[in-house]
């Protein structure tokens, strides 16, 4: 599979029928949801909303019915999540569980783990966070120091995770840590553990405020935290293989190019239905990028469904997507002047400010631009 092979996404009539249903639901459900909140995109949190989606059958859509999933196609799931993002729905609660933790558990978990977690995830009642990064292990994930030591009946965990988004709102973390050897052994000797964030003793969650002052990510300190044997996900020592297989899910979805979409909507609202030539050209260009990215991203969804691991293609989607997401605030302010700040553009200005402040994170979270480009270069055979 070459780095540039993006097979056409499968056509699905069922998915298009679903689209209308999702749109109608969101139109009612989010009727009074203001643009400033929609701008939070997939960082917006509303546990009640997540539960409602669960009740509609829109979480864990691709999970097998035997475990309480809905057995639908990746493309059907894609329709739901892109509609949620385009509407700026508050989805962060269940997002990670639906996107990567659930699929990981289904792939690597024990029968008991699947029976325990999957129905809860599907109901929108079990939220996950990602315990990968540490103070000294960001891009260099293989250098993690957090260590789980085998003890009688389970594992004793010591170390610090950092930048853990929504840890304070999550029920479980998939912890990536060392279970044997030393950080110098790098990838080998790492494992994944399912850590109960509410019940485990010896975990301290400290908020780390983002530059906006918001509490979004956290520092998690493990001090002799004990988890039972059945917390081990997959095989001991296979952590690296398992964690990297999550990444194609993590990097290729529509959230990798729609984070600034609400700003584009609000820009168009100010510009009106008959914008200047300059504005029309700029909006048209953004539209061309969105249409293309959507095609690429849906193609990756198709590949994932077919059981492939399109890691390079996912990196490519995320790199192009972050460029677009970061360009949108810049283009928006070139089309709608915010100085002086008149009342007519106040809402636009708020959405612009929110998106501008968050834009730097788009090319950091989920793998930095530089790391993604290294992966693409490797896919091209350069490394």
Ligand X SMILES: Cc1cc2nc3c(=O)[nH]c(=O)nc-3n(C[C@H](O)[C@H](O)[C@H](O)COP(=O)(O)OP(=O)(O)OC[C@H]3O[C@@H](n4cnc5c(N)ncnc54)[C@H](O)[C@@H]3O)c2cc1C
Which residues are near ligand X by CB under 6 A?
A: 129-133, 138-139, 163-165, 217, 361, 364-365, 367-368, 370-371, 374
Q: Is the peptide bond before 229 cis (omega within 30 degrees of 0)?
A: no
Task: Write down the least CB distance from residue 243 to another protein, Å.
Answer: 17
State the binding partner of 165 from another protein, ligand X, none, CB within 5 to 8 A by kind.
Answer: ligand X
Q: Which residue is nearest to ligand X (CB)?
A: 138
How many Cβ atoms are within 10 Å of 243's Cβ, its own excluded?
25
Q: Which of 26, 123, 265, 357 binds another protein (CB under 8 A)?
A: 357
State the binding partner of 130 from ligand X, another protein, none, CB within 5 to 8 A by kind.
Answer: ligand X
CB 336 within 8 A of CB 279: no
Site string for another protein, 145-164 (x = CB under 8 A): -----------------xx-
Site string for another protein, 98-137 (x = CB under 8 A): -----------------------------------x--xx
> Distance between CA atoms of 262 and 89, rounded to whole angstroms?
10
- Tokens, residue 87: 């509407």
Q: Residues for the chain: how many in total?
A: 383
State the binding partner of 132 from ligand X, another protein, none, CB within 5 to 8 A by kind.
Answer: ligand X
CB 186 within 8 A of CB 142: yes
- Output phi, psi for 99, to 5 deg: -80, -50
* Residue whose C-alpha is closest to residue 266's, from 363, 216, 336, 315: 336
Q: Which stretch binds another protein (CB under 8 A): 71-79, 94-102, 204-212, 292-300?
A: 204-212
Rule CB under 8 A: is residue 7 a binding residue for another protein? no
* Residue whose C-alpha is closest to residue 304's, from 361, 247, 344, 257: 247
How many Cβ atoms are within 10 Å of 137's Cβ, its own excluded?
18
Q: Which CB sits closer to ligand X, 10 or 374?
A: 374
> Distance between CA atoms of 255 and 324, rounded to whole angstroms?
12
Rule CB under 8 A: is residue 373 a binding residue for another protein? yes
How many Cβ atoms are within 10 Å of 11's Cβ, its own excluded?
9
Task: Write down the least CB distance from residue 348 to another protein, Å.
Answer: 12
DSSP H or E stretch at residue 157: strand 154-165
Q: Which stretch binds another protein (CB under 8 A): 3-11, 83-91, 246-254, 325-333?
A: 325-333
Q: Which of 361, 366, 367, 375 binds another protein (CB under 8 A)?
A: 361
Q: Give contact residues for another protein (rule: CB under 8 A).
A: 133, 136-140, 143, 162-163, 208-213, 217, 326, 330, 333-335, 337-343, 353, 356-357, 359-361, 363-365, 368-370, 373-374
């Amino acid at each position: 599979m070459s780095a540039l092979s993006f097979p056409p996404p499968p056509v699905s009539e069922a998915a298009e029928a679903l689209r209308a249903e999702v749109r109608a639901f969101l139109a009612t459900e989010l009727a009074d949801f203001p643009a400033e909140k929609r701008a939070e995109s997939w960082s917006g949190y509303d546990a009640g909303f997540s539960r409602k989606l669960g009740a509609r059958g829109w979480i864990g859509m691709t999970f097998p019915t035997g475990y309480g999933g809905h057995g639908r196609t990746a493309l059907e799931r894609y329709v739901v999540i892109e509609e949620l993002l385009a509407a700026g729905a508050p989805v962060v609660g269940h997002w990670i569980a639906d996107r990567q933790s659930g699929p990981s558990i289904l792939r690597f978990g024990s029968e008991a783990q699947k029976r325990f977690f999957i129905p809860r995830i599907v109901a929108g009642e079990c939220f996950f966070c990602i315990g990968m990064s540490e103070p000294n292990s960001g891009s260099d994930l293989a250098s993690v120091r957090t260590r789980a030591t085998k003890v009688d009946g389970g594992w004793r965990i010591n170390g610090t995770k950092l930048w853990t988004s929504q840890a304070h709102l999550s029920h479980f973390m998939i912890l990536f840590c060392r279970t044997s050897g030393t950080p110098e052994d790098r990838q080998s000797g790492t494992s994944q553990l399912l850590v109960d964030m509410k019940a485990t003793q010896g975990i301290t969650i400290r908020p780390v405020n983002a530059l906006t002052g918001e509490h979004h990510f956290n520092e998690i300190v493990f001090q002799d935290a004990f988890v039972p044997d059945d917390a081990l996900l997959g095989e001991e020592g296979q952590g690296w293989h398992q964690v990297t297989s999550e990444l194609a899910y993590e990097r290729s979805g529509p959230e990798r190019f729609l984070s600034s979409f609400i700003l584009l909507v609000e820009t168009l609202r100010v510009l009106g239905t008959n914008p200047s030539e300059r504005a029309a050209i700029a909006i048209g260009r953004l539209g061309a990028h969105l249409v293309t990215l959507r095609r690429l991203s849906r193609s990756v969804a198709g590949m994932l469904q077919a059981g492939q691991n399109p890691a390079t293609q996912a990196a490519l989607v995320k790199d192009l997507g972050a460029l677009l997401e970061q360009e949108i605030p810049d283009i928006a302010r070139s089309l709608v002047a915010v100085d002086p700040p008149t009342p007519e553009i106040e809402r636009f200005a708020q959405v612009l400010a929110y998106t501008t402040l968050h834009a730097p994170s788009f090319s950091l979270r989920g793998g930095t631009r530089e790391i993604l480009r290294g992966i693409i270069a490797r896919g091209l055979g350069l490394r």
